[in-house]
Amino acid sequence: MIRAHLTVDPHFAVGPIDRRLFGSFVEHLGRAVYEGIYDPRHPTADEQGFRRDVMDLVREMGVTTVRYPGGNFVSGYRWEDGIGPVADRPRRLDLAWHSTETNEIGLDEFAAWAKKVDCELMYAVNLGTRGVLEALDVLEYANIRSGTHWSDMRVANGHADPHGIRMWCLGNEMDGPWQLGHSTAQAYAELAAKTARAMRQLDPDVELVACGSSSAHMPTFGEWERVVLEETYDLVDFISCHAYYEPKGEDYATYLASAVDMDRFIEAVIATADHVKAVKGTDKTINISFDEWNVWYQTRYVEEEKVTSIDQWPVAPHLLEHSYTVMDAVVLGNLLISLIRHADRVTAASIAQLVNTIAPIMTEPDGPAWRQTTFYPFALTARLAKGTALELKLDSPAYDTADFGEVSLVDAVATHDEAGGATIFAVNRSLTDEVELEIDAAGLGALGTPSATSIFDDDPHAANSAADPDRVRPRPNDSVVVDGGTLRVTLPACSWTVLTVDGER
């Protein structure tokens, strides 16, 4: 039996876990909005056309914030197309996803939906093809009570109370050549600084996110963050990170270690932000909003799905609707471990996305909504990662990967909550062997009755589907034993596990 050893001690705190770490993202893309969260013809639709079954799953998933309306979409978006009487709203070309945007859903409707699912709305302004004035207009519409052009327009549209949006993204992925209005770091930094200054003049309470790199593998990565933060440091609160992972061919060893890439990405951005902090001689610290992360079979989109014909601009096409496997759920659970491990600096994050596109929740237009494998590690982590993230001492055998060299076979993180005990999240990246994880938990005091849940399967490629939505579900892991101050749990091959001590499961 392969063995790994972990020491958990509540004295070694990384930092409090911000609930915004369990945020998500809904873009006007494919069937995320139309046929996803919104489908007035569906039997479960409420009076506003929102699917109740989807809302139930969003709540079950424990999502805390929702980023909207894009994504690449936002860089061609005119926000005011989506307000006022629906019949008067224009149909527009969406160049980002080669679709037609009907504008049936806009800011007011989405804010209402976010409220129904108890999520904080995080709004992205268009800095690709628009600028300071349009950002001010939408902020005025959203956050000023009344008595001005845009705020009175919101009231006239039936929303007497302001939406009170706190978190605003200053554009999206402006480092990416695919982005409408893609610019150099310096040009973006100056626009972001001007926009941030103006938005703060209107509403000093906003929290602003400057665009970081769209991936740690962009040629401009690192330098982009430095330039952007040198211009915006005093004006913004966050720098964003985006990362998506997929297996390259059958190199599952590297794929299962994707969190190593996320760890390095986060640590490089922290180093860059702190470099700018040192140069500026300021006490202010910039944190990370990891506002797009997930497993995404992106090469399939580029090779199989991408439509560019001038005659085809479909409404809500099936786009980026991948089926996620057990292995994908293990990788996703490991990405959450990476985010929690950096809880002192990653204080907001958004799984991208939520419904139908790159999504943990899928919908059938005339049938039910169902959970992908990836739904489960997110939902369990959002529910059980409470209080403070802990620094661990982990001794694990290593294995070799093509992209990252030798990496740890087991990865883990723990959280501690004075009231609820401790929770340990662990993955076993071996495709073939189970691992016995021995946990020195003496520092936690009396251990009570621990319980564990794992995601694994004889077939790591097993997935859920509309026809078989419960093929993969988390299963109780009955291997846990307590021996004085030590816990032992068996981690099945290619698995994700959550173990609670004196907590709920």
> What tokens appear for 13 in the block?
């705190």
Please, what is the minimum distance in Å from the beta carbon of residue 71 to ligand AHR? 3
Q: Does 24 bind ligand AHR (CB under 6 A)?
A: no
Does 71 bind ligand AHR (CB under 6 A)? Our answer is yes
Taking contact as CB under 6 A, which single stretch among the options 2-10, 68-76, 154-162, 397-405 is the one that binds ligand AHR? 68-76
**CB contact burial 82-115 (16+ within 10 A = b; e otherwise):** bbbeeeebeebebebbbbbbbbbbbbbbbbbbbe
The residue of the chain with the least Cβ separation from ligand AHR equals 71
Task: Out of 24, 103, 172, 347, point to the residue binding ligand AHR (CB under 6 A).
Answer: 172
Active site residue 292: yes
The single residue among 7, 24, 72, 356 that binds ligand AHR, judged by CB under 6 A, is 72
Instruction: Give the pairing type, strands 421-428 and 410-417.
Output: antiparallel
Least separation in angstroms between residue 287's CB and ligand AHR is: 20
| Position 214 contacts ligand AHR (CB under 6 A) | yes
What is residue 48's three-state secondary structure? Answer: coil
- Let me know how long the chain is: 505
| Binding-site string for ligand AHR from residue 339 to residue 368, where x marks contact by CB under 6 A and - marks none | -------------xx----x----------
Contact 325, 383 (CB under 8 A): no
Contact string (CB under 6 A) for ligand AHR, positions 297-326, x = contact: ------------------------------
Neighbours of 155 (CB within 10 A): 15
Q: Which is nearer to ligand AHR, 206 or 358 (CB)?
A: 358
Query: Which position among 35, 173, 225, 231 bears the catalytic label?
Result: 173
Contact 404, 257 (CB under 8 A): yes
Stretch that binds ligand AHR, among 41-49, 70-78, 119-127, 265-273 (CB under 6 A): 70-78
Beta strands, E only, 52-188: 65-68, 92-94, 99-101, 120-125, 167-170
173 belongs to the binding site for ligand AHR (CB under 6 A): yes
Residues 6+ apart with CB under 8 A from 309: none
Of 65-73, 113-121, 141-149, 277-285, which part binds ligand AHR (CB under 6 A)? 65-73
Cis peptide before 69 (omega within 30 of 0): yes
Strands (E), 391-473: 393-395, 398-401, 405-408, 410-417, 421-428, 435-440, 450-455
Active site residues: 173, 292
Under the rule (CB under 6 A), what is the footprint of ligand AHR? 27, 70-72, 172-173, 214, 292, 352-353, 358
